[in-house]
Structure 1
Amino acid sequence: MVMNAIPPVDLHVSSAGSRPFSHVETWIFDLDNTLYPHTSRVWPQIDERITLYIAELFGLDGLSARSLQKYFYHKYGTTLRALIDEYDIDPYDFLDFAHDIDHADIALNEDLGKAIERLPGRKLILTNGSRKHAENVARKIGILDHFEDVFDIAASNFVPKPDRRAYEIFLEKHAVEPARAAMFEDIAKNLVVPHELGMTTTLIVPPTIDPFREEFEQEAVKTPHIDYITKDLADFLNACLLPSKGR
């Protein structure tokens, strides 16, 4: 089976010298804004809950809490990491609070489910969120049963992506050979280490701008550490499974 076909560039882009998928045995997916579109309104709710958590923790008004949250995010990679390092909070309480959201707008995605099911080999979720959150969301999308396991922020000892240690802990725990793996992510910087380790990397960008996320998080960044860029994950995966002409 040849797995390196890329459909029209309006939806999918490949970089010069992009790594193929023909050798991939393990398929690794981020969760938030990767396995569902921003119209699912998952991330805006989480973002609001984090702001509320900070407001209550420090006795701040909404604007001040929001400003502090973004400062933590840019300095530490995640607000949770900052609160653990600087204030020794209980990370499980934080995660339960942040992920206490309404799942009503998460739609069943049969096309994505079928595409993931057809991928040959192992499938894993690697997320900076919690296992419970990942399972709840993946279940609503209709894809949870296609995954072998969820590697969450607790499994990485609360070290978040893009820290190299998070990926190394993941690879060791699940005995994944990175040179025979593919990683799918919605934030470009989170693909730097996977590419350095030998993974084939794909950046998921939204088909329309998400007003609830920062611009840098949605950029279709064309750099050597990103092999492919797509606006439609299900269509992209199906394209990877189609035989290439002349191959």
Structure 2
Amino acid sequence: MTISDPARTGSSPATAPEPAPRDPPRGFDAVETWVFDLDNTLYPAQHDLWGQIDARMRDYISGLLNITPEQAFATQKDYYRRYGTSLRGLMIEHGIDAHAFLDHVHDVDLTNLEPSPRLAAAIEGLPGTKLIYTNGSERHALNVMEKLGIDSHFAAVHDIVAAEFHPKPTQEAYERFLRAHGVEAPRAAMFEDLARNLEVPHRLGMTTVMVVPPGERIDTRESWEFEGREAAYIDHVTEDLAGFLERLGQ
């Protein structure tokens, strides 16, 4: 386990202001609900399921708006950053059928996604309730969970439809999630691969864990997705989710 270090040093120790004190990272003793993002969190980004979803979103937008794939990709990423999901942007800007979009973009090939008995055992060993909270669809989540062999360990999936299409990272989305499942934020932990999706959970009282795939390359993601990884709202960072959970379950 690695804990992010926010300390910064000035050019002159004699004149530089003291860095603001940072609260110690929150622990897990009080945690009774374990909340996991899905894509690139419960499986490594190297499997590139998100790459397939990305391409299908681009093609959908290209056909919908009658623009080139390059223009569609730029539109997709612009909406993703501004609205939380490309879907939310398309709903607001173009009034699309959200369900048709989700069915299209999540029709992906899971052949290379292998079961993870170690992860399944580590999740099973956690005391309390386990939930999936994804900006994707429930069908996609269930397909991935079944392929990984972890589906029997989760009480529910909270997807973008259950969120009434209010995506992470908005506070409204998290508050809807907490109410829907009766979760007390100070008694919950959130696992995510995007730092920006952990800021609100931390502010609400959750223990936050950033999952960073080992050897991850910035050229496979949008550069802004890497922002915030050293922020004070990240309590813990791990490159090995199964190992991290194994230690918690001991």
Tell me the TM-score normalised to structure 1 length.
0.90
Is the CA contact (8 Å cut-off) linking 1:205 and 1:220 kept in structure 2?
no
Give CA-to-partner distance per residue, 1:18-54, whole Å, 9 cap, x none.
1110110000000010000012221000000000000
Identify the residue that residue 233 of structure 1 maps to in structure 2: 241
Separation in structure 2 between the aligned mates of residue 77 and residue 131 of structure 1, nearest angstrom? 18
Q: Aligned AA for 1:102? A: D
Separation in structure 2 between the aligned mates of residue 32 and residue 192 of structure 1, nearest angstrom? 18
Identify the residue that residue 245 of structure 1 maps to in structure 2: none
Q: Aligned AA for 1:212? A: T
Identify the residue that residue 114 of structure 1 maps to in structure 2: 121
Please, which of 39, 42, 55 is the counterpart of residue 32 of structure 1? 39
Q: Aligned AA for 1:215? A: S
Is the CA contact (8 Å cut-off) linking 1:124 and 1:151 kept in structure 2?
yes
3-state SS in 2 of match to 1:123: strand
Pair 1:205-2:212 in alignment: yes
3-state SS in 1 of match to 2:27: coil
Q: Aligned AA for 2:195? A: A
Identify the residue that residue 163 of structure 1 maps to in structure 2: 170
Pair 1:13-2:14 in alignment: no
Superposed counterparts of 1:1-247, under 5 Å: 6=1, 12-13=2-3, 17-210=24-217, 211-218=219-226, 221-242=229-250
Identify the residue that residue 9 of structure 1 maps to in structure 2: none
1:191 Cα deviation from its structure 2 partner: 0.4
Separation in structure 1 between the aligned mates of residue 243 and residue 222 of structure 2, nearest angstrom? 25
Identity rate, percent: 50
My pick for the range that moved more, 152-161 or 206-215, is 206-215
Separation in structure 1 between the aligned mates of residue 158 and residue 143 of structure 2, nearest angstrom? 14
Q: Aligned AA for 1:62? A: P
Q: Aligned AA for 1:69? A: Q
1:104 Cα deviation from its structure 2 partner: 0.7
Separation in structure 1 between the aligned mates of residue 42 and residue 106 of structure 2, nearest angstrom? 16
Give CA-to-partner distance per residue, 1:46-104, whole Å, 9 cap, x none.
00000000000011111111111111112111110011111111100000001010001
Q: How many residues align?
A: 232
Tell me the TM-score normalised to structure 2 length.
0.89
**Structural RMSD (CA):** 1.4
3-state SS in 1 of match to 2:232: coil
Q: Looking at CA atoms only, which structure, 1 or 2, has the larger radius of gyration?
A: 2
Give CA-to-partner distance per residue, 1:105-127, whole Å, 9 cap, x none.
11111111000000000000000
